[in-house]
Amino acid sequence: MEVTRYQSHAVSVIEINHPPVNALSSLVCQALFKEFVEASKDPSVEAIVLCGANGKFCAGADIREFKSTSLMKTISIEDINGNIESCKKPVVAAIEGVALGGGLELALSCHYRVAHIKAIVGLPEVLIGILPAAGGTQRLPRLIGIPAALDMIVRGRHVPATEAFQLGIVDQVVQTNAIDAAVHLAREIIGKPLDNRRLSTLPVQYNINIEDFFDNALKKAKIQFFGAQAPLACIEAVKASVELPFYQGLKKEQELIASLVTTGQPQAQQYAFFSERNAGKWTLPSGEGWDNVSPKIIKTTAVIGLGTMGRGIVTSLSKANISVIALEQDEKQLNQGKKAVISLLEKEAEKLNKQGKSSSFANGLGPVHFTLDFGEIRNVDLVIEAVYENMGLKKKIFQKISKILKPDAFLCTNTSGLDIDEIASVTNRPQNVIGMHFFSPANIMRLLEVVRGCYTSPITIATTMSLGKTLGKVAVLVGNCPLFVGNRMLLPYVEQAGYLLEDGCNPEDVDNALEHFGFAMGPFCMMDLAGLDVGWRSRMEKGLTGDRVPTGTPARQRQGNRYCPIADMLCELGRFGQKAGMGWYKYEKLGGRKASPDPWIRDFLEKYRNTHQIKSHVINSEEIIQRCLYVLINAGFKILEDGIATSPEDIDVIYNNGYGWPKYRGGPMYYAATTGLAKVYETLDRNYKANPDIPSMKPTFLLRKLVAVGEPPLKEWKTQLGNLNNKL
């Protein structure tokens, strides 16, 4: 039964029961409508309470039912809302757990709302590419005013119960059972007037210049959410609450949602939503996986190395209230690390404070302990090594700690691309060794690549994936290969960006095209931020530049393939990016963030092209996007072929959460599917034939095969490979 009803004296309690989150599916809507009508007609019922089973009010419309072209149901959520709001008997919502999207819209149509202190409310539809189109954009501004409502709706913010009370969204916050409290309130208000509790009948109150306010909001949103259509539609809908009578406002919501669907963005964002949830459902070829391997509970941890990554990881663990011993090799670095962690934790506490939440670290370091003594980590459950990327150093540390730690402790390495098996091979428990590739800043970025080596046991995977979730990360299991998934795909993308400079572009042409596509940052801005010396050092280690390049090697060639040495040349001149005040761009000062195109670079590129007799040509944005993205996508197909990622969805989750890919485009593999695999294949094939010295352009076997079999849906791509390879 999706909806049940029972009576407590004169109060009828209607409970939504649709696990896991009581989403409003068509069946739930029909049942809710029916039960509500019956309760409202029943003469023995004098008041009604709406609630959700299993400690959750309702997470909104059932996203699984959204079809690509229509969001309509036989009975819409707004049909139910209208009925509730106009009911002559008082209706109280008892909010436990979550009241999100259609769930909050349902609660807003009730005459009163009681929330449990731990509940959260919000209208997060914007995050899945739509708007709160069941009256949310019309009722919320009438309840809490335009600025507060707009902020919640445009950002899709989750609001904790205490803040919801301050804003006036809920009438009571209780520490005990919210349903009992709602029933109690319902009894008290029987027979009392309800006219000013029906939000649709109230005027929207404001004392601001509405035209200016919405113009500014639109301008800001166009910058902040560049390219995304849903935030703009949300603003238009809230504006309609002021300009139009309530029922016309509802019509406007419907028009806006219908027009959003035609952009393809809701479909992409809903795909991203479910991909993210599926990423946690890892399964090995052996059948062992998330649903049959139990993780070990991790209570105590240690982090070795307090550089940028280590500090972020310590902060992350501490935020999750997991005890952590932070270890450094000398007093100076320990103190610097400690200062940095304190400052990060203070910022986190401030953030929580603003949300009305308390933190265990508000007045200090919470569960963090700093030490120079390896002996102190002896009894921890799990260690994360976060020293800099040097195989020799990492192996030394792993050898040492595997002798010290208790036998069942887990050993994790934070690396962005080193071989997990080589690191594991020096320990006395390779089955407990795993990669945890955090992204910088590690206390903020949501992505975590969990890297399985060939020895890693299922329980080590389960424990690390579960720890990732506890830390609030989106953990994705990947296989062990140089650079893993995200960075491996980035390599040909950055390489192409270099070739584009040789062929006639300036850095800003490439960045502008890709930022216009929706990336948070183009490749040259990204390199300036990360520091050009990082890639330079790695190329030196690989013998691509520096003393180890054999004499006589042509400047623009390595092992017979095309090579662009421009980044190396900038590094030789000390142009390391933001930290040097110059890189691909110039900056206002050392460490400055405001990039301006540098005439010096233009000059330099022109001379470079002359020296190498390169005929430049005008390159438009479309060519820039295709050249950079298609090689990145091609690398994604190779990763699937090699069994390094479980699915194209996992690759998209990695790009959406760690590489600034615009979520409204779903991710690179989803983008390839919507662009058309044949187009991607043909473009790559043509470009490869013209440039056989760029191997990353050669279409992969999987891409070719998928085109040959008629471009099956993304969910079926992996089945085309059979059991070719699986490193997971």
Ligand X SMILES: CCC/C=C/C(=O)SCCNC(=O)CCNC(=O)[C@H](O)C(C)(C)COP(=O)([O-])OP(=O)([O-])OC[C@H]1O[C@@H](n2cnc3c(N)ncnc32)[C@H](O)[C@@H]1OP(=O)([O-])[O-]
Active site residues: 105, 125
Sole binder of ligand X in the list 39, 63, 465, 632 (CB under 6 A): 63
Peptide bond connecting 713 to the previous residue in cis, omega within 30 degrees of 0: no
Residue placing its CB nearer to ligand X in the complex, 448 or 497: 448
Burial of 419 (0-12, 13-18, 19+ CB in 10 A): middle
Residue placing its CB nearer to ligand X in the complex, 64 or 192: 64
Spell out the long-range contacts of 505-509 with Cβ–Cβ below 8 A and sequence spacing 24 or more.
505/619, 505/624, 506/597, 506/601, 506/602, 506/605, 507/584, 507/585, 507/597, 507/601, 508/585, 508/597, 509/619, 509/624
- Smallest gap, in angstroms, from Cβ of residue 295 to ligand X? 16
Name the helix (H) or strand (E) containing 98. strand 98-100
Q: The sheet that has 474-479: what strands, in order across it? A: 368-371, 323-327, 300-304, 382-385, 410-413, 433-438, 447-452, 474-479
- Smallest gap, in angstroms, from Cβ of residue 78 to ligand X? 8
Question: Which stretch in 18-26, 345-353, 530-538, 544-552 sits in contact with ligand X by CB under 6 A?
Answer: 18-26
Alpha-carbon Rg for the chain in angstroms: 28
Residue placing its CB nearer to ligand X in the complex, 25 or 333: 25
Q: Are 671 and 528 in contact (CB under 8 A)?
A: no
Q: Rounded distance, CA 328 to CA 344, Å?
A: 18
Residue 466, φ and ψ in degrees, nearest 5: -70, -40
Residue 62 near ligand X by CB under 6 A = yes
Residue placing its CB nearer to ligand X in the complex, 65 or 389: 65
Residue 64 near ligand X by CB under 6 A = yes
- Smallest gap, in angstroms, from Cβ of residue 23 to ligand X? 4
Name the helix (H) or strand (E) containing 293. none
Q: Which two tokens stand for residue 280?
A: 């946690």
Question: Which stretch in 15-23, 309-317, 354-362, 608-616 sits in contact with ligand X by CB under 6 A?
Answer: 15-23
Residues 259-288 that bind ligand X (CB under 6 A): 274, 277
For the chain, report the end-to-end CA distance as a whole number of angstroms: 40
Residue 251 near ligand X by CB under 6 A = no
Question: Which stretch in 53-61, 238-246, 414-422, 624-632 sits in contact with ligand X by CB under 6 A?
Answer: 53-61
Q: Are 65 and 17 in contact (CB under 8 A)?
A: no
Residue 542 near ligand X by CB under 6 A = no
| Residue whose beta carbon is closest to ligand X | 101
Sheet strands (E) in 407-521: 410-413, 433-438, 447-452, 474-479
Residues 122-181 that bind ligand X (CB under 6 A): 124-125, 128, 132-134
Question: Which residue from 237, 276, 251, 266 is spatially nearest to 61, judged by alpha carbons?
Answer: 266
- Smallest gap, in angstroms, from Cβ of residue 410 to ligand X? 24
What is the Cβ-side half-sphere exposure of residue 523, based on CA atoms within 13 angstroms? 28
- Smallest gap, in angstroms, from Cβ of residue 683 to ligand X? 35
- Smallest gap, in angstroms, from Cβ of residue 255 to ligand X? 13
Residue 71 near ligand X by CB under 6 A = yes
- Smallest gap, in angstroms, from Cβ of residue 277 to ligand X? 4
Residue placing its CB nearer to ligand X in the complex, 120 or 382: 120
Burial of 316 (0-12, 13-18, 19+ CB in 10 A): buried
Residues 188-207 that bind ligand X (CB under 6 A): none
Q: Are 227 and 264 in contact (CB under 8 A)?
A: no
Sole binder of ligand X in the list 3, 16, 21, 481 (CB under 6 A): 21
Residue placing its CB nearer to ligand X in the complex, 133 or 654: 133
Pattern of binders to ligand X over 85-104, x per CB under 6 A? -------------x-xxx--
Could you say which DSSP state residue 192 is in? S
Residue placing its CB nearer to ligand X in the complex, 62 or 649: 62
- Using CB under 6 A as the binding criterion, the count of chain residues that bind ligand X stands at 23
- Smallest gap, in angstroms, from Cβ of residue 19 to ligand X? 8
Q: Cβ contacts of residue 389 below 8 Å, gap of 6+?
A: 415, 416, 417, 418, 538
Residue placing its CB nearer to ligand X in the complex, 450 or 490: 450
Strands 433-438 and 447-452: antiparallel
Residue placing its CB nearer to ligand X in the complex, 310 or 666: 666
Residue 490 near ligand X by CB under 6 A = no
Beta bridge partners of 324: 301, 368
- Smallest gap, in angstroms, from Cβ of residue 713 to ligand X? 19
Residue 61 near ligand X by CB under 6 A = yes
Sole binder of ligand X in the list 3, 23, 514, 714 (CB under 6 A): 23
Q: Rounded distance, CA 459 to CA 499, Å?
A: 44
**Residues binding ligand X (CB under 6 A):** 20-21, 23, 59-64, 71, 77, 98, 100-102, 124-125, 128, 132-134, 274, 277
